Amino acid sequence: MPLDGPSLLNRFCIVSMFLTLVLSLAWAQSDAHNHPWSNASLSPDERASMVVQQMTLDEKISLLHGTGMEGLSPMSPLAIHSNGGAGYVVGIPRLGIPAIQMSDAAYGVRNSGENGRYSTALPADVAAAASWDLDAAHEYGALIGRELRAQGYNMSLGGGINLTREPRDGRTFEYLGEDPILAGKLVGSVMKGEQEQHVIGDIKHYALNDQESGRNAVNVNIDKRAARESDLLAFEIGLQESDAAAVMCSYNRVNGDYACENKYLLTDVLKKDWNFKGFVLTDWQGAHSMAKASAAGMDHEEPGWIFYGDDLKKAVQSGKVPAAEVDDHVHRILRSMFATGLIDNPPQKGVVDVEGGLEVAQKIAGQSTVLLKNDHAQLPLDASKIHSIAVIGPHADVGMISGGGSAQVDPPGGNAIMPPGKGQTHWQDEIWFPTSPLRAIRAKAPNANVQFDSGADPAAAAALAKTADVAIIFAYQWESEGMDLDSLSLPHHQDDLIAKVAAANPRTVIVIESGGPVTMPWVDQVSAILEAWFAGSRGAEAVANVIFGEVNPSAKLPITFPKSEADLPHPTIVKPPKATTDADKQGWKRIAAGLPAFQVTYNEGVKVGYKWYDAENKPVLFPFGYGLSYTTYSYSNLAVAPGKRPRVTFTVTNTGNRAGAEVAEVYASLPASAAEPPKRLVGWSKIKLNAGESKEVAVEIDPKYLSIFNVEQNGWQLIPGEYGFMVGGSSQDLTLKESVSLK
C-alpha cells in the first residue's frame, strides 16, 4: 500500500521499531535452529516445502516484494531495517527465515561510502573478461562475496552478462564482452565464487537489454534461433556452470512482451528448458503487471509492491491468481536461501581485509590489461635507461576513472578530483579512484624526471612531450548505466591531444581507460597502446607494472574494436521518441503502467561482435581475442579427436625470452548447411609458459557449443558434416586448422 507524508511515515517508523523489538524477542525465543527445516541434511527443496506449508498468505506475499526505493516506488516504513543496499525483503522471524539484504555488486559492493563502509573496486567486469581466466573470475566473485557478507548483505545484484551487441551501450563495462561462451563461462565462475560465500548470486539483465536508451520502453525484435544462440546462450551457460540462484529480468520488451512478464523467456526457456530452480526478480521498477507477470514466471518484484502486494493477495483470495503459483514463487526464493547457505551461515559483519582486497584488485588488473600495440618493443620501459617521462592526460596526476550507475563503487576518501572527503558519489558523476598514474610511474622510475601535464592545452602537452624520452598519455572514455555513448571516439578532444603529442614524440605510449572499444584515428602515429579498462582501486600500480615489465601482459580483447561506428550492425542507436521519457518525479507510475513501445530490430541476429565483422568482411581495428605479450608464442601439432565431446589438442611454445601466459583460443566453423557465421569460439585455455617452454594443451568441446538451436524441435542440434577447428592466439590469427567429420 503506498504511503505518503512525513508525519505518517514517522508514526510508522516508531510503530515499526516497536514491532522489530517484539519480533526480535520472539526470534530469540523461537530458536531459529529448532525447526524441522533447520536440518541441513535435507535438500533445499525439502526444506523450502516444509516452510511454505507453515506460512500464512501475508507471509508469503511479504517475500515476493521489496520494501521500496525513493523515486522508484512507494516506501514501506519497514525499509528502515534495510542494510542500505538497493533491495530489502523482510524476514519471517517466527519461522527462522532471515531478511534478504541485496546490494548491487558488479565490480565491488555499491554504496559503501554512503553507508560508512569500505569496498574494494575491482577492475570492471569487462576487464575481468579480458583476463580470459576462470580462476581470476572465481577470485573476483569470492572477493565480492566476502565484502558483501562483511557489510551485512546476503544477496548480490552483480552478474551482468548482456552480450556486447551494441558497444556504445553505457553498461558495456559491467558486462563480459561479445561472445556467449566466454561471457557465460566467466559469469559462472564469478557466481560460484560469490555463492561459496553464502550470498545469493544473480545473473542479469534477462534478456536482450543491450542498449540503455529508452530501456523502459524499447521492444527488441529478434528471431528465436538468433536469441538462443547469442544473448540467451550466455545466460544458459552461466546458470549451468554455477547454479546461480537468481535471475533479474530486464526493463525492455522482447518480441512484444516486457521481459518481466514474458512467458517465453521466464517459463518456457529459463524454468523449463534450462531447469532453473532459483527465482526471477525484476529489475528495479521492471514489473508492469500482476496476474500476467505471475503466470509468466516472475517471482519477485523490486523495489516495491506496486503489483505483488495487496493486489496479489486479493487476486489469490479471489482465485484470479492460483495459490499454487504463489507457492511456487515463494518456494523458489526459500530454496535459494537454503541452497546458498545463507540461512545456515548468516552474514557476519566485520572489517574486510582491505590489503588483501587491494592485492586481488591489482593482480586481476594486471591480468586484464591488454597490450594492443608495441612497435619496436617500445614497452616495457627500462627505468635505468630513461631520464625523463612526460605523463599526460586528464587527472592522470591523481586518479583513474570508474564506471557509473548502480555498479558504481565508492572510492575511499571520495572522488579523487575533489578535495578528499568532499567528493561523494552521485548518480552519473564521473568518479575517479585515488590510484595515481603519475605517482605509480614515479615510483617505478625514481631516477627519472617525471613531469605531468593535464593535456587541457594540447600544444603545451606536446611541448612537454618533446623534451621527454617517453610520453605516456592516459586517455579515457567514461560510461554509465542510464546512458549510451554518442560515439566510440574519445571525448574532450583527446584524439587531438594524442595526435599532437605523438607528432612531438615518436615514443608515445597510450593507456586507454574505457569500458569498451574506442576508435583510434591516431593508431599509426603512436608506438604503444594499452587498454586498461576501468582498472579499479589499484589500477595505476597495475598499469605501471605492465609498462615497466614487472607484469607481462596476458589479456586478450573480449570485444572487437571496430575501425568506425559505420562498421557496426547499427550505425546509430535507435533513440526513444520524446513521449517515452520517464524523467519526472512520478515517472515510476508511468513506467509501471507501461511506456509506449518503440522498436529496435536486431536483424544482425546471431552475428554479434566478431561474427558480424567476419560475415560482412569488415576489417577491424583490433580483433576479438587479440592481445600482445612481451614474449611470443608458436602453435603446433593440432589434433582433433571426434566423439561426443570432441577433444582438441595442440602444443604452445613460448618462443621469446621471458615467462608469460598465453590465451590459446579454439574456434570452429560449422558445416555450410548450418548457415552460421564463418566461425565461433568453442573453447580456450590460458597457459603459463616459461621462456622456451612448450606445453601440450587439451580443450574438450561441449557439443552444445558446436550446435545450432533448432526452433521447431526446441532444442540444440548438432548438424552432421565437416567441422573446421582453428587454433591460435586471436580470432584473426589462427595458424592451426583441421577438419573433422562429426555426426
Positions in 177-216 near ligand BGC (CB under 6 A): 204
Positions in 132-161 near ligand BGC (CB under 6 A): 157
Residue 64 or 134: the one with the smaller Cβ distance to ligand BGC is 64
Whether the ω angle into residue 720 lies within 30 degrees of 0, i.e. cis, is no
Query: Does 300 participate in binding ligand BGC (rule CB under 6 A)?
Result: no
Where do runs of H (alpha helix) occur along 373-516? 437-444, 458-467, 494-504
Residue 235 or 705: the one with the smaller Cβ distance to ligand BGC is 235
Handedness of CA 101, 107, 108, 110 (dihedral sign): negative
DSSP letters spanning 337-372:
HHHTTTTTS--------HHHHHHHHHHHHHHH-EEE
Q: Considering the complex, what minimum distance in angstroms separates the CB of residue 124 from ligand BGC?
A: 14
Q: Considering the complex, what minimum distance in angstroms separates the CB of residue 104 from ligand BGC?
A: 5
Residue 104 or 236: the one with the smaller Cβ distance to ligand BGC is 104
Residue 139 or 174: the one with the smaller Cβ distance to ligand BGC is 174
Q: Is 564 exposed, middle or buried (0-12, 13-18, 19+ CB in 10 A)?
A: middle
Residue 298 or 621: the one with the smaller Cβ distance to ligand BGC is 298
Strand-strand pairing, 246-249 and 528-531: unpaired
Q: E strands along 521-629, which residues? A: 528-531, 598-601
Q: Is 615 exposed, middle or buried (0-12, 13-18, 19+ CB in 10 A)?
A: middle
Which residues are CB-contacts of 184 (< 8 A; sequence separation ≥ 6)? 161, 233, 234, 235, 236, 237, 238, 240, 241
Q: Considering the complex, what minimum distance in angstroms separates the CB of residue 304 from ligand BGC?
A: 12
Residue 285 or 654: the one with the smaller Cβ distance to ligand BGC is 285
Residue window 521-560: x/- pattern of binding to ligand BGC, with contact defined by CB under 6 A: ----------------------------------------
Tell which one of 86, 200, 372, 706 touches ligand BGC (CB under 6 A).
Answer: 86
For residue 519, give the C-alpha cell.
576508435
Residue 216 or 631: the one with the smaller Cβ distance to ligand BGC is 216
- CA dist 213 to 208, 217, 365, Å? 13, 9, 30
Question: Which 3 state secondary structure label does DSSP give 310?
Answer: helix
Query: Does 104 participate in binding ligand BGC (rule CB under 6 A)?
Result: yes
Query: Does 112 participate in binding ligand BGC (rule CB under 6 A)?
Result: no
- CA dist 271 to 184, 251, 266, 296, 333, Å? 18, 19, 6, 10, 14
Query: Does 604 participate in binding ligand BGC (rule CB under 6 A)?
Result: no
3-state secondary structure 69-107: CCCCCCCCHHHHHCCCCCEEECCEHHHCECCEEEECCCC
Q: Considering the complex, what minimum distance in angstroms separates the CB of residue 239 from ligand BGC?
A: 18
> What are phi and psi for residue 517, nearest 5 degrees?
-65, 150
Q: Considering the complex, what minimum distance in angstroms separates the CB of residue 298 from ligand BGC?
A: 15
Positions in 473-502 near ligand BGC (CB under 6 A): 481
Residue 406 or 415: the one with the smaller Cβ distance to ligand BGC is 406
Residue 157 or 504: the one with the smaller Cβ distance to ligand BGC is 157
Residue 406 or 435: the one with the smaller Cβ distance to ligand BGC is 406
- CA dist 472 to 376, 532, 552, 592, 694, Å? 16, 13, 18, 49, 35
Contact between 383 and 190 under an 8 Å Cβ cutoff? The reply is no
Residue 86 or 186: the one with the smaller Cβ distance to ligand BGC is 86
Residue for cell digits 528448458?
A: 273
Handedness of CA 176, 182, 188, 189 (dihedral sign): negative
Residue 109 or 547: the one with the smaller Cβ distance to ligand BGC is 109
Q: Considering the complex, what minimum distance in angstroms separates the CB of residue 285 from ligand BGC?
A: 8
Residue for cell digits 513521449?
A: 579
For residue 389, give the C-alpha cell.
617521462
Query: Does 283 participate in binding ligand BGC (rule CB under 6 A)?
Result: yes
Which of 698, 705, 706 has the alpha carbon at shortest distance from 723?
706
User: In the chain, how many H helices and how many E strands?
Assistant: 19, 27
> What are phi and psi for residue 693, nearest 5 degrees?
-80, 150
Residue 168 or 538: the one with the smaller Cβ distance to ligand BGC is 168
Q: Considering the complex, what minimum distance in angstroms separates the CB of residue 118 from ligand BGC?
A: 20
Q: Binders of ligand BGC: how many residues, by CB under 6 A? A: 8
Positions in 378-407 near ligand BGC (CB under 6 A): 406
Tell which one of 88, 175, 284, 474 touches ligand BGC (CB under 6 A).
Answer: 284
Interface contacts to ligand BGC, rule CB under 6 A: 86, 104, 157, 204, 283-284, 406, 481
